Chain A
């Protein structure tokens, strides 16, 4: 991995000309548009307001997770524990959301705080313990899943209050709450990455950790920030999911981290760190959402859907490479 920065010299010199450059910059948007056009032609129900809202709502959970992991990936790390954290925080929040027990604020705080706490643990082991992020978060993936099963005794936590269920199922001004939360996360994270010192440091740490340290950046605290941010958002996603399915499911969220990472990669963020944009991740998540939705509308079985999704992920990155 130490040699990943050695791109071929020809690549460094030869900039892509006109159209290719344009495509490189907007390729991901063009791809999304292209898929939408095909689905509009292929199915009568794709381009309806109702379906569009549904796509956005379905995308919001993966979108929130993907934005969180974007921070981690730009800083040069990885987080594989997201799906399990979604399950754990969902179950934990649901346990405090039975009707007539606590106010809404309690399950919300429980879910978010557990998420943040897992981020702190991941971050500490990665920075202070100097263990590879891949290993730490792989371990945490199992631990969080186990905790979710232990806390719930392996059973779904149901019978949740209406106010809790409103988060996933309700709407404000006709816009579903998950979409509003997704939008808020997009805006907030874009501000952090583009307009704060912390954001700038995240890019620097991912681009060259040694140089970042020599520039006086507290590399450990920046990495901590990304893992805490990522797991905290996973906590939010866990609450939204539990609320939407009106149960805390200890088996929920399996492989969600992979969809999130796929969205990040489709969005043009390099897995080697140092570069990437929130808007890319958002479009990446939308592409995955639109594909899921389109394949449903086309009555393609969920088995075949997986194959097609995989092909599209690889194809998208291949296209990006070519440019």
Chain B
């Protein structure tokens, strides 16, 4: 038996009604190494992780920890043994302090009556956070932290639990590039201490940067495990999707038409004096760090954020936008960066989500025309190739990519001519990504005007005709497609 593996899972299978989520999968984790797990949504990564962490029990297969066979019955078991997971969507206790979050369920107690030793707790928490290089007071409430800082608190918690393996699920999906650098520094540090990291991400550049070993999964099966040095970017994509992708951006030259949206001196709480135009048939990219105000700018155009000053002109007419209702009336649509908060009613069906914004198209007066609605929904499902078992499926059960397509179809059904895509491919797999890019390209060809916000510079560079770089709530520079490079964008975005 190879002693360098701290964790081995062998022949793991797991079925859910109607799907075989995992089919004879294996994975072996080495101490002090970063092991990336890659695959499209639905490939079985999350199910495998849930099994490792004790949230699910496998139908068959064995898991060995330090050579000993183990069976976790709960997440608590796993944590006690030395496995911690940092979830993509962090679930902290927002009202409690950082220290209280870190030591939740594991509080240092005083001898007298077992009361929580607040002093000791804060001291240890500060020590941990300091080690990670975080400069925040540990008595601050969790809700006041940025996502990056919350993540650090989670990592601190894992360390305080003496984790030997930390699973990170899409840890960078909400981080700026600078924060990613900090996180990677921490990961290097953890490696030095012999902690193994299982790293799940869709971002290939990051994986090639941080990982030592890569496991690729597809359709619930283990495809390959190899050293990072054996693969390059294109080979990775080919293995993940199971086919060669010539290029996921197939954007052609365009001929922009009239100016359909112009923003003059737009000022809000987080941005000031924003001026720009968007023409029909044009895709304008907005780049900038998280928190630079880019999302607030487009939210203001869509009526989700208060406008303090400035005007919005749609197709030559000055308009007042106080709510999304006004925006929709002026044929502006938004695909929000936060699809769970602003995009979908997760507890509702595919059908009801698709039509909720445009029920007027399938109703007579106040009454719904259910036949017409079914027809419209079927058309949309086909047009955007939304993969769902039925239009009556609850959207919560769908993959991120399919959920995003539902949000997009909702906006398209509203006949929007100006469509804002805010991080349209966050957290979705490469297959769905390229479909969304194709769709956006088609929309521009059809004469729609598109504003694209993205943290992925390759995406911004690949898709946009012009790029506005936002820094601290103002447009720092406008770059043409020809002159824009990753380095140039970052230079302006960071100062």
Binding site for B on A (CB under 8 A): 2-3, 5-6, 8-10, 12-15, 17, 195-198, 200-201, 203-204, 207-208, 210-218, 274-275
Contacts and interface: CB of A to CB of B under 8 A. Distances in A.
Contact of B304 (A6, A207, A214, A218): A214
Nearest to B302: A214
A216 B357 contact: yes
A247 B483 CA distance: 84
A217 B353 CA distance: 13
Interface residues of B, number: 41
B55 to A, nearest CB: 6
Contact of B363 (A197, A203, A204): A197
Contacts of A215: 324, 356-357, 410
Interface of B: 16-17, 21, 46-47, 50, 55-56, 91, 94, 302, 304, 323-325, 327-328, 334, 336, 341-348, 352, 356-357, 359-360, 363, 366-368, 370, 396-397, 410, 414
B396 A212 contact: no
Contacts, number: 96
Contacts of A10: 50, 55-56
Contacts of A211: 341-345
* Interface of chain B: mostly helix, strand, loop or mixed: mixed
Nearest to A220: B323
B346 A207 contact: yes
Nearest to B363: A197
Nearest to A7: B396
A195 B362 CA distance: 11
B348 A204 contact: yes
Nearest to B338: A210
B346 A5 contact: yes
A198 B360 CA distance: 11
Given A196-B367, A200-B356, A214 B50 contact: no
Given A9-B55, A14-B16, A14-B17, A218 B345 contact: no
10 contacts: A6-B91, A9-B50, A10-B56, A13-B47, A197-B366, A204-B356, A212-B345, A214-B304, A216-B414, A217-B325
Nearest to B18: A15
A110 to B, nearest CB: 28
Contacts of A201: 356
Nearest to B360: A197
Contact of B17 (A6, A17, A274): A17
A136 B83 CA distance: 47
A216 B324 contact: yes
A213 B324 CA distance: 7
Contacts of B17: 14-15, 17
Contact of A13 (B16, B336, B363): B16
A12 B399 CA distance: 12
Contacts of B94: 2
Given A200-B352, A204-B352, A207-B345, A3 B368 contact: no
B367 A214 contact: no
A210 B336 CA distance: 11
Contacts of B414: 216
B325 A218 contact: yes
A196 B366 contact: yes
Contacts of A13: 16, 21, 47, 397
Contacts of B342: 210-211, 214
Contacts of A198: 366
Nearest to B91: A6
A274 B348 contact: yes
A198 B365 CA distance: 11
A126 to B, nearest CB: 18
Contacts of A196: 363, 366-368
A97 to B, nearest CB: 34
Given A9-B46, A214-B342, 17 more contacts: A8-B55, A9-B50, A197-B363, A197-B366, A197-B368, A204-B352, A207-B347, A210-B341, A211-B345, A212-B345, A214-B336, A215-B356, A216-B327, A217-B325, A217-B357, A274-B348, A275-B347
A3 B341 CA distance: 12
A128 to B, nearest CB: 14
Nearest to B299: A214
Contacts of A200: 352, 356, 359, 368
B348 A216 contact: no
Contact of B348 (A2, A195, A207): A207
A201 B357 CA distance: 9
A32 B334 CA distance: 47
A212 B334 CA distance: 13
Contacts of B396: 12
B397 A12 contact: yes
Contacts of B343: 211, 214
